[in-house]
Chain A
Amino acid sequence: EVQLLESGGGLVQPGGSLRLSCAASGFTFSSYAMSWVRQAPGKGLEWVSSVSGSGDTTYYADSVKGRFTISRDNSKKTLYVQMNSLRAEDTAVYYCAKSSGATCYSVVDTWGQGTLVTVYS
């Protein structure tokens, strides 16, 4: 069974940093692109970033470009996102998501349970 378990969420002040992790199991991690998608309280879904299965290709939403860095450790079957210069508008549940293929241009077929990031002043 495919499982994605996020961790690392919490409270942080504006300008602060946080690193989220997503531990994957039940599939050949390196064969699939992975993404982070977020959902602000009471709002819709927003794609944040994606990384290819090999880790050599990454993409970012303009809203986080230059502040967030997605990465993966295929030996540890873990996805990360380093979030710097956090803003109030980054407050959201962050979902780790698995794609159906190695390229980022493939549909997200599995979602984690999400981890809440709250940026407060």
Chain B
Amino acid sequence: DIVMTQSPDSLAVSLGEVATINCKSSQSVLYSSDNKNYLAWYQQKAGQSPKLLIYWASTRESGVPDRFSGSGSGTDFTLTISSLQAEDVAVYYCQQYYSIPFTFGPGTKVDIK
């Protein structure tokens, strides 16, 4: 199984500042046949279902604000919120869909400082 780890476990950022979340996979999720990273980022607000933010490691889902961006390749990935807004308070999860079982990271809780 591919183990996903995230850091930090939680972070508090001032409004308008940058929030950075890291995700690492225990093996590469880059598929050589299509040169795509099978890595997604989800946002889950309190009491709500998860919401897809980023797929293929860096492609923003339709309707997601452009302050959210994803980067990385292979085993190391980053989700960046360029200017944190109050509505961004949530838990963020990375997930690989490269191999079964499709594993999630443990989540990173983002709060306002």
Contact = CB atoms under 8 A, between A and B. Distances in A.
B partners with A: yes
Interface of A: 35, 37, 44-47, 50, 59, 61-62, 95, 100, 104-114
Contacts of A114: 49
Contacts of A104: 100
A88 to B, nearest CB: 21
B40 A108 contact: yes
Contacts of B44: 45
B72 interface: no
A35 to B, nearest CB: 8
Interface stretch (B15-23, B73-81, B82-90, B103-111): B103-111
- Classify the interface of chain B: helix, strand, loop or mixed: loop
A111 B49 CA distance: 6
Contact of B101 (A62, A107, A108, A112): A62
A61 B97 contact: no
Given A44-B107, A105-B38, A111 B50 contact: yes
Interface residues of B, number: 23
B104 A109 contact: no
A113 B49 contact: yes
Contact of B52 (A35, A62, A108, A112): A108
Contacts of B105: 44
A27 to B, nearest CB: 14
Nearest to B54: A107
Contacts of A46: 104
Given A44-B104, A50-B102, A95-B50, A100 B93 contact: no
Given A47-B103, A50-B102, A100-B55, A112 B93 contact: no
